[in-house]
Structure 1
Amino acid sequence: MFTGIVEELGEIREVTRLPDAARLTVAAASAVSDARHGDSIAVNGVCLTVVDVRDGTFTADVMSETLLRSNLDGIERGDVVNLERALAVTARLGGHIVQGHVDGVGAVVERSPAEHWELVRIALPSALARYVVEKGSIAVDGISLTVSAVDADSFTVSLIPTTLELTTLGRRAPGDRVNLEVDVLAKYVEKLTAHAARPVSPSPVTTEVTR
């Protein structure tokens, strides 16, 4: 479990392509300071399991399902990535509940700089549109953001200087692909309300025969 508050920027040191997977080695400072085999670290919003830690780097395997659903399929050596360690029970929930389970990939459409912030519009896959609402939360490349505007096929977020400086969104150009994770609470509400709306079939009447 994560909060979408990026701890640091890491650098991809090595990418090993396998027939149905990939193995990433990431250089970091804070993220590897207490990392152990089996720990979870979010890389661009994707929850990955640490399989090795050495010399200021950690290594994680990425299965084919994750590659299909995220922008990690195009990751290359030297790329910069957002990193966040799993949430400690005693930590503050500074962003929102983020699972690290990417729902789909969007693309930066346009950037509109202002004096003290920047508006970034991102294309929204149609299958995810119903989960995104104005003033709701969404994770973009693992960054917890508030939706400032939304339409049928895109949404807009407002980025403060800190977010631009300390995350990959400060470097993303129009056309760049970004990982999207919608608010998991919205998905659960949808399923529960759909179930409640279905008519309940009457139970069959049985007659007990006493002998």
Structure 2
Amino acid sequence: MFTGLVEEIGVVRRVEAAPMGARLTIAVKEIIAGTRVGDSIAVNGACLTVVELMPAAIVAEVMAETLRVTNLGSLKPGDKVNLERALRLGDRLGGHLVSGHVDGVGEIKSKRRVGIAWEMEVAVPAGLERYIAPKGSLALDGTSLTVIDIKGNKVAVGLIPHTAAHTILGVKGPGDKVNVEVDLLARYLERLLARTPKEGGGEGLTWEFLAANGFI
């Protein structure tokens, strides 16, 4: 589990083809401290396992499915990536709960300066828009962001100067691809609402049930 607060921008040093996947060697500085083989790390928001440590780099294995459904499959030496170590119990949750399970790859459609910040519009894969709400949370390339607005499958988010300077979103622009992870609480809520009597959910979670039990 992660928070969506990027700790460091790493640089891809090597991409090695492996049976049904790949091995990524990523040059790092800060996050090498305290990292051990077997630890989880989010690379552009995708949860990977550290399989080898070097003096100033980590090596992670990426299975074929992850390469297919994220932007990690297009990485090449020299590319920069967002990095975050897994959340520890007791840590502050400054962003939102991010699982590291990417839902799809979106495309940046526009990026414009608005005051001190940047406003970015991203087209998300069809079907994900139902999990996204204005003022809700969204992770793009592993970065926790607040949704400004959503129209169809186009989502507007804002980047404050700190986010733009300390994540790769600051240098990405129209046409670039970003990993998208929706708020996992929205997925669980949908599942609860969709349960049927056959699945042991009675009539499911309905507005009538919520009202009758004082939730609304």
Which residue pairs with 1:35 in the alignment?
Answer: 35
> By how many angstroms is 1:19 displaced?
4.4
Which residue pairs with 2:18 in the alignment?
Answer: 18
Which residue pairs with 1:83 in the alignment?
Answer: 83
The one-letter code of the counterpart of 2:100 is: G
The one-letter code of the counterpart of 1:60 is: A
Q: Any idea what SS the aligned residue of 1:3 has?
A: coil
Partner Cα separation in structure 2 for residue 82 and residue 197 of structure 1: 43
Q: Any idea what SS the aligned residue of 1:30 has?
A: coil
Write the mapping of 1:100-115 to structure 2, written as runs, cut at 5 A.
Answer: 100-115=100-115
> By how many angstroms is 1:58 displaced?
0.6
> By how many angstroms is 1:197 displaced?
7.6
Partner Cα separation in structure 2 for residue 133 and residue 10 of structure 1: 31
Q: Any idea what SS the aligned residue of 1:127 has?
A: coil
The one-letter code of the counterpart of 2:194 is: A
Larger Rg belongs to: 1
Q: 1:197 to 1:166 in 2, by over 3 A?
A: farther
Which residue pairs with 1:49 in the alignment?
Answer: 49
Partner Cα separation in structure 2 for residue 126 and residue 186 of structure 1: 16
Which residue pairs with 1:129 in the alignment?
Answer: 129
Percentage of identical aligned residues: 48
TM-score by length of 2: 0.90
Partner Cα separation in structure 2 for residue 12 and residue 149 of structure 1: 33
Structure 1 residue 187 corresponds to structure 2 residue 187: yes
The one-letter code of the counterpart of 1:25 is: T
The one-letter code of the counterpart of 1:158 is: G
Which residue pairs with 2:61 in the alignment?
Answer: 61
Which residue pairs with 1:5 in the alignment?
Answer: 5
What residue ranges of structure 2 are gaps of 5+ in the alignment?
Answer: 204-216
Q: Any idea what SS the aligned residue of 2:195 has?
A: helix
**4+ residue stretches of structure 1 with deviation over 2 A?**
196-201
> By how many angstroms is 1:139 displaced?
0.3
The one-letter code of the counterpart of 2:160 is: I
Cα RMSD (Å) = 1.5
Which residue pairs with 2:166 in the alignment?
Answer: 166
Q: 1:116 to 1:22 in 2, by over 3 A?
A: same
Partner Cα separation in structure 1 for residue 116 and residue 196 of structure 2: 46
1:154-179: CA deviations, max 9, x gaps? 10001110011000000112000000
TM-score by length of 1: 0.92
Q: Any idea what SS the aligned residue of 1:112 has?
A: strand
Q: Any idea what SS the aligned residue of 2:165 has?
A: helix
Q: 1:197 to 1:160 in 2, by over 3 A?
A: farther
Q: Any idea what SS the aligned residue of 1:78 has?
A: coil
> By how many angstroms is 1:142 displaced?
0.1
